[in-house]
Amino acid sequence: MVVQYSSSRADNNSSKEPDHFGDVMSQRETSCMLPGIFKSPIQRVMLTANGNLQRILSSYYNMPVSVEVLLNEPDKASCLSGDKLPIRYNRTINLVCNSIIICSARSTVDLLTHKAANLVIHQGVGIGQLFRYMNVLPTFSLHEAKLSDADSSFERTYELRSEDVVCIITEEFPSGMLDSEFCKR
């Protein structure tokens, strides 16, 4: 089943809510209502995690969760030789807990400014740490959430955006991973 979700909605005053699901910089009230097909509270937390999924999963399993980088390359090698922006990186990673893959993610990362490009290309800052290095809280938009009809696997596609960087990320969660004992097998 596919659910398309927009994080923005109009209220009685027809004003638009911020699209960052209650980050530290938001208003006093937060609302993020997902469709009822997402029954598990931890699943809803994971679907709306805004760059902190590794920490959330580590807390959930009460075990260390590491990032296994499978691919982190510029879209075109020639883009690094010039001064032309944006520079797109393709990235594939696994989140791993006790040698078990608990999430696989594919992303495109567009470096929009020379500041961001310098941090990644010349200073070796990882894509996952880029917002922290720039001291920026990106906006978060959940574009799509999918729940498998065949098993308990699910996925989401979301965007993290700032003036310097835009990341489009699709994460896939394997069947059974919502069991708190999943990584203890």
Query: What is the predicted pLDDT for the residue at 169?
Result: 95
Residue 32, CA distances (Å) to 68, 130, 140 in order? 30, 26, 12
Q: What is the pLDDT of residues 26-43, one digit of tens each?
A: 555 566 778 888 889 999
Q: What is the pTM of this model?
A: 0.82
Task: Map out the domains of the chain as residue ranges.
Answer: 2-180
How many residues make up the chain in this entry?
185
Query: Domain 2-180 is of which CATH architecture?
Result: 3-Layer(aba) Sandwich (3.40)
Per-chain mean pLDDT for the chain: 83
